[in-house]
Structure 1
Amino acid sequence: MPHASSPTPEAPLYVNDGRLLPEQTGYLRPSSPDEPLEVLRDRYHNDGYLFLKGLIPRSDVIKAREAYFELLSPSGVLAPGTAPADGIFDSSRNKLDFPGIGAGSADANGRPSGGVFVDLALKAHTEPFYKDVFCKNPALLAFISKFTGWNENTLALTRTLLRNNTPGNKAIGVHYDQIFLRHGEDTSVTAWVPMGDIALDGGGLIYLEKGQTLGEEIERDFYRKATETGLTELEAKDAFNKNMMSGGLLADGPKDFGEQYKRRWLVTTYEAGDVVLHTPYTIHASTINYDAKNIIRLGTDLRFVDSSRPYDMRWTNDYRFGDGV
C-alpha cells in the first residue's frame, strides 16, 4: 500500500458525520518490527504513529478474541451456530442493545445504555485471559521496552479500554490521548491492538495526517483559554471541564473536523497481530463498522509509560464506568 495515497475502497467509508470522500483519505504507512530502531523512531515522531505489521503472534490474538466472545455469548450478541473467535453479530438483534464502550450514550454513572452485554464487556477488562495474559504479551512489551529505551522502567498501565464495535453502531469520535492523561507527563505511548482482522470498512482506527502537530497546537491553545477563563490547574487537567466537548472529544464527526483543518484521514485494513503505536497528541477516531460479514470489531488501547518519570496515577486502576478519566 502506498503511504498516504488516495484509497479506492471496495466499500464506502462512513464516520459519525457522514461518508469520507476518496480525497479526504489516504493510507497508513506500514512498518516492520524488524526495521532498524532509529528508522522506526524517526517514523513515529514524524508521522505521529507507527503501524507495525505482525508484531504479536496471530495465535495469541485469536485466542484472546475467542475467550472474549465466549464470555459475552450469553448476551445473545453472536449469530447462532457461529464460532466465538469469528465474532459474528446476530443481525436479527437490535444493534442499539449492544453499544460499544466510549462510543454511545451513557447514564449519569457513565454506564452505556445496555443490559447484560454491557456488564460482560466491562467484566472482560479484569478477566485473566485479558488482564494477566493478553495485556502482558511478551512480544509487545519487549518491543516497547527497546523502542522507547525505557528498558526496565517500562510500565504497562493497568487501566485499558477494551472496545467492541458491533455493525452499524456509533463510532469513536475525534480525540488525542493526552486529553485523558494530563495528570502526568506527555511522554506516554499508546498501543492500539486490533483483536482480530478488520476490513477497511470494519470500524478500525483512522489517524489524521500529521495529526500530532495539530494536537500539540490544540493543547497549547486549550491551556491558554483555560488560563483566560480562570480554570485552576486541576480543572485544566480534567477532560470533562467546561472548556471541553462532552467526554473530552475534539469533535464527534471526523469528516467535518478533517475539512476544517484541511487534513486527510489515514485508513487501512488490519490483521490480527498488527499494532499501531501513537503519541499522546496524535489525533485519531474510527469509522462506523459496516463489515459485509457482520464481524464485530474488537480492539484495545494499551498505554505505556516510563515509571521513573511522573505519570497519571489514575491509570493504575482497572477501567470502570464513570471513573472520570
Structure 2
Amino acid sequence: MPHSLEPQLYVNDGPLSPASIAPLLPSSPDLPLADLRERFNANGYLFLKGLLPRADVLKARENYFKFLSPSGVLKPGSEPVLGIFDAQKDISLFPGIGAGAAGANTDPGQETTDFVLLALEAHAEPWYADEFCKHPVLMEFMEKFTGWEEKTLPFRRTLLRNNIPGAQAIGVHYDQIFLRYGEPTSVTVWVPMGDISLQGGGLIYLENGHDLGREFEEKFTAKAKASGLSEEEAKSAFNKNMLSSGLLAEGPAEFGLMHNRHWLVSAYDAGDVVLHSPYMIHASTVNQDPNNIIRLATDLRFVDSSKQWDQRWASQYRIGDGV
C-alpha cells in the first residue's frame, strides 16, 4: 500500500508544497532484469523494495549506534537499534557528515567532538566496511543487474551519514560532479539503514533529474573550456565555475520550481535500496521524525573495473580528502 503524501515535508529552503511532490516508483527485485534495467534507464533511479534482509540491515544499525553511544547522542535508556536522539541535547553538537553547504569534503565544524570522530571511525569498522558494504545479496544483484559480473567493483570510499532531527538536510546535486576522474559508468546504491518515515529525512529525487543532470554537466564542461581551465582543474567539483560545495543549489524547493519538476518522495523500510545514475539529481528533506529517530543511511558506489574509474574513491573516506 503506498505511503500517504499528506505530512508537510521541509527542505533547506522551506516547505515542499503538495503540488511540488509525487511518489517515488517502487519496484520488486523479483521483476525480470530487463524490466528493472528499463525502469532505471528511463527514470534515472530504481527503488527496490526489500532487496536486503531486514534483520541484517537492523543489525548494522544497532552496531553503528552502539559504536556512537559514548558520544551521548542517544536518548538515555533507549535501545541503540532505535537510534532515538536525546532531544535534551543541542543538535549543533552532533553535526552530520556530507550535509549542507560544507559538503562531504570539509570539517562539519566539530571535528574534535567524540560524535564526529566516532562517526568517521565507523566507516572502517569490519561490521560496516567488510560485512555490510559488501553484503552478498547486494553484490550478487549488482553483478547481474549491471551485467559487469566479476568486473563489478564496489568503491572503498563510502559515505555513512547520520542526520539528527532538525539538522540541515543535503542540498541539490548529482554524483558525477564528484566522480569526474572516471567515466560516467558508476551506479550509486543508497541504502537506508533502518526505517525512515516520510518526514524522517530520506532522499528525494528530481523527476527526470538524470536528463537535467547530464545537461548541467555538459554546460559545466563547456564553461570550463571557455574560461581557460585546464583539464585537471575542470575535473574538480569545487572549481571556480562551481558552487564552493559542489552542489547545484542549497534549496530544493526553489530548484524544483525553477525547473518545473516534481520532487519524488517516499518513506523507506529497512531492506530497501535505491539505485541511481551518476547524473540523477537528488537531495534530502529535513529530518522531522515525530519520534526523534536519527536518519542513518549509506552511499555505496559500484563501477565496471574494466573502464576508467575515479581512483580517489579507492581509499576510505576522510574529511579533507579532496573529493
TM-score bracket, normalised by the shorter chain, equals: over 0.9
Q: Which position in structure 1 is the counterpart of 2:92?
A: 96
Equivalent-residue separation in structure 2 for 1:58 and 1:78 (angstroms): 22
1:219, distance to aligned residue in structure 2 (A): 0.4
CA deviations on 1:61-82 (whole Å, 9 max, x unpaired) are 0000000000100110000010
How far residue 11 of structure 1 moved from its aligned partner, in angstroms, is 2.1
Q: Deviations over 1:260-318 (max 9, x none)?
A: 10001000010000000000000000000000000000000000000111100000000
Aligned to 1:16: 12
- Alpha-carbon distance in structure 1 between the residues aligned to 2:250 and 2:229: 24
SS in 1 for 2:228: coil
Tell me the amino acid that sits aligned with residue 136 of structure 2: P
**1:136-147 maps to which residues of 2 (within 5 A)?**
136-147=134-145
Preserved contact between residue 101 and residue 112 of structure 1 (Cα < 8 Å): yes
Per the alignment, residue 174 of structure 2 pairs with 176
Aligned-partner SS, 1:14? strand
Q: Counterpart amino acid of 2:81?
A: A
User: Displacement of 1:104 after TM fit?
Assistant: 4.6
Give yes or no for contact 1:97–1:113 (8 Å, CA) kept in 2: no
Quick one: which amino acid aligns to residue 52 of structure 1? L
State the shift of 1:106 in Å: 5.3
**Alignment partner of 1:214 out of 212, 215, 233:** 212
1:41 lines up with 2:37 in the alignment: yes
Task: Give the alignment of 1:218-257 within 5 angstroms.
Answer: 218-257=216-255
Kindly indicate whether the alpha-carbon contact (under 8 Å) linking 1:199 and 1:291 is maintained by their aligned counterparts in 2: yes
Work out whether residues 191 and 303 of structure 1, in 8 Å CA contact, stay in contact via their aligned partners in 2.
Answer: yes
How many matched pairs?
A: 320
State the partner residue of 2:262: 264
Note if 1:73 corresponds to 2:77. Answer: no
Question: TM-score, normalised to structure 2's length?
Answer: 0.97
CA distance in 1, matches of 2:248, 2:295: 23
Check conservation: 1:8, 1:22, Cα contact below 8 A: no
Does the CA contact (< 8 Å) of 1:15 and 1:254 recur in 2?
yes
- The one-character-per-residue Cα deviations of 1:143-187 (angstroms, maximum 9, x if unpaired) are 000000000000000000000000000000000000000000001
The residue that corresponds to 1:157 in the other structure is: 155
Cα shift at 1:105: 6.3
Cα RMSD (Å) of the superposition? Answer: 1.3
1:162 maps to a residue whose letter is L
- 1:130, 1:311 → 2: CA distance? 23
Q: After the TM superposition, which segments of 4 or more aligned residues of structure 1 sit over 4 Å from their partners?
A: 104-107
